[in-house]
Amino acid sequence: MSEKQNLRKILLLVLAGAAAVLLLVWWIAGDAFYTQKTASTPAEGETATGEITAEVSLAQTFVCETDWMTGIGLAGGNYEGLSSGALQLVLKGEDGTALAAVTAAPELFDTEGYHELRFAGPVSGVKGKHLLLEVTSPGTPPGQGVTLFYGSSIRIGRGSVPLQIPEEERLRISGVPTDGRLCFIAYGENGLWLGPHYFLVAGGVLLVLALVALWILRREAQGHATGFGNLVRAARKYRFLIRQLVQRDFKRKYRRSALGIVWSFLNPLLTMLVQYVVFSTLFRSSIEHYPVYLLSGIVLFNFFSEMTNSGMNSITDNASLITKVSVPKYIYPVTRVLSAAVNVMFSLIPLFLVAILTGLRPSWSWLLIVLGLVSLMAFSLGVVFVLATMMTYFRDTQFLWGVLSMIWMYLTPIFYPESIIPARLISLYHCNPLYQIITFVRTALIDGVSPAPRAYVILFLIGIVPLAAGAWIFHRKEQDLVLHL
């Protein structure tokens, strides 16, 4: 097969692969692209309303922020199970018409936390409108009513932010206004633009890729080398070297080890057990499926750490080979990343086993984890290109990176929940690429659903932008690296 035919075949495979991925994502997550579930942030429970009896009623006006409302979440207490009266919740529109009603049994409040009370059907056409929530307990005698809470601030991360509550949105207890808002959660759904237009967007993506492929073929036919063409030729010409380097790096990791590759299973499991014993008493109650939450963070961060630590030394460790054999120098960082990728495949096996053993049911959404791993691999490769370049010029890079990676680990929610982060730092905290990737994977694995469409865009940008920037920096310095070995 000629070089041009080989390039044409690979471009067709890339287009076919992209089409297959887009179809697979639609098949797994198509429903999630039409609507997105939402939940309002409740006020902090600073003050008790007092028990709600036949003579007491609550009235809370609020502005609906969703296209459809599906239910209300309430938290309260029932005096250790002594309550006998059920709560009646009625949702009314701006004209006073009842839109939905639901009954909450008193035993619902035996446990702490918010409990969702779902309406018989979604309430539509209410976005941006003032709605009234009335809470009563007909026939309940004094001493046997449920108590709810209200407050004048909301919790964001580890801090609290005061609420500016308009007069008409203050909680009224039996007609008397308070200085706060009822602690309730408005559950709902918002319609998304992507769902009805998914295939139009997918077709646009494939069209752009097809145009780029045609441009590459035209440039190559005119005798002008392209970056993609160079990559294909290098992969074909040096495939034996690439295979040998990947095998060497993988085998060297377990050289003279009695258990060998078994450590790929044991290492994340043992790390999880240690951190579980240390942190479970602090965070287990606030994080569902904490073992899976913990192990998923460990596996992904270890993947990133292994790729960057080994890739950083890829040029300096192969100095004797680089000075004797003329091959593209980017092959060495790439093979280190590929070797780490092989290792993480084995680490995923105990992750899935722990997920199943702790009660999570396998779901098609688990396939979306591959997208998170690919994004993490591309992001790490971009970081590796920069670190490998810096390491060649400045050997102290390895020590600086050791400190930075440790700080990065503690800035990533591996063993703790996001809720402990101070409110003023939440926006900055979300800028952490590893936070976004780990959250994407946990949503698919633990929640068993597709992340929001926005998460896919973020995942793509996290992968492509650092990779392009790192490759550009490495290419600029590639010819000078040999002078500093």
Using one digit for the tens of pLDDT, what is the confidence trace for 283-294?
655 678 888 898
For the record, the structure tokens of 209 come out as: 């890729």
pLDDT of 275 reads 66
User: What local confidence, expressed as pLDDT, does residue 276 receive?
Assistant: 67
Are 68 and 100 a contacting pair, CB within 8 Å? Answer: no
- pLDDT tens-digit map of 138-183: 888 887 888 899 999 987 766 678 888 899 999 999 999 999 999 9
Q: In terms of pLDDT, which residue wins out, 408 or 242?
A: 408
Q: What is the DSSP letter of 364?
A: G
Give the CA count within 13 Å in the CB-facing half-sphere of 223.
0
pLDDT digits (tens, 9 = 90+) for 2-20: 777 888 899 999 999 999 9
The pLDDT tens digits of the residues spanning 397-426 come to 889 998 999 999 989 988 888 878 877 788
pLDDT at position 129 is: 93
Q: What is the structure's pLDDT at 322?
A: 80
Mean pLDDT across 232-243:
84
Q: Residue 437: phi, psi to the nearest 5?
A: -70, -45
Lowest-confidence segment of 49-53, 106-110, 215-219 by average pLDDT: 106-110
- For the cut 60, the answer to whether the pLDDT of residue 387 exceeds it is yes
Residues 162-182, buried b or exposed e (16+ Cβ, 10 A)? eeebeeebbbbbeeeebebbb
Distances (CA, A) of 93 to 70, 102, 116, 126, 168: 15, 15, 20, 8, 15
What confidence score (pLDDT) does residue 19 get? 95
Q: What is the pLDDT of residue 83?
A: 66
Residue 212: per-residue pLDDT? 93
3-state DSSP assignment of residue 176: strand
Cα–Cα distance between 478 and 484 in angstroms, integer? 11
pLDDT at 85 over 90: no
Cβ pair 471, 330 in contact under 8 A: yes
Per-domain residue ranges for the chain?
Answer: 37-191, 238-484
Question: Is residue 171 within 8 Å of residue 178, measured between CB atoms?
Answer: yes
Residue-wise pLDDT tens digits, 274-324:
766 666 666 655 678 888 898 899 889 988 998 998 889 888 888 878 887
With cut-offs at 50, 70 and 90, classify the pLDDT of residue 50.
Answer: confident
Query: Does the structure show a pLDDT above 70 at 471?
Result: yes
| Packed helices 239-253 and 227-237: angle between N→C axes, nearest 10 degrees | 70
pLDDT for residue 379 is more than 60: yes
**Sorting pLDDT into bands at 50, 70 and 90, what band is 262?**
low
468 vs 325, residue with greater confidence:
468
Give, in order, the Cα–Cα distances in Å from 264 to each of 178, 188, 279, 377: 58, 43, 23, 18
Residue 79's pLDDT is: 62
Q: Is the pLDDT of residue 433 over 90?
A: yes
Matching CATH number, 37-191, of 2.60.40, 2.60.120, 2.20.25, 1.10.3470: 2.60.120
- Say yes or no to pLDDT of 130 above 80: yes
Given pLDDT bands bounded at 50, 70 and 90, which one contains residue 82?
low
- For the chain, the residue count is 485
Decide if pLDDT at 80 tops 80.
no
Question: Residue 197: how many CB atoms within 10 A of its CB?
Answer: 13
**Residue 78: CB atoms within 10 Å:** 21
Q: Find, among 377, 28, 24, 12, the residue nearest to 206 by Cα.
A: 12
Q: How confident is the model at residue 267 (pLDDT cuts 50, 70, 90)?
A: low
User: Average model confidence (pLDDT) for the chain?
Assistant: 86
Residue 346 has pLDDT above 90, yes or no: no
**Secondary structure of residue 101 in the 3-state scheme:** strand
- Which tokens in the block code for residue 371? 């997208």
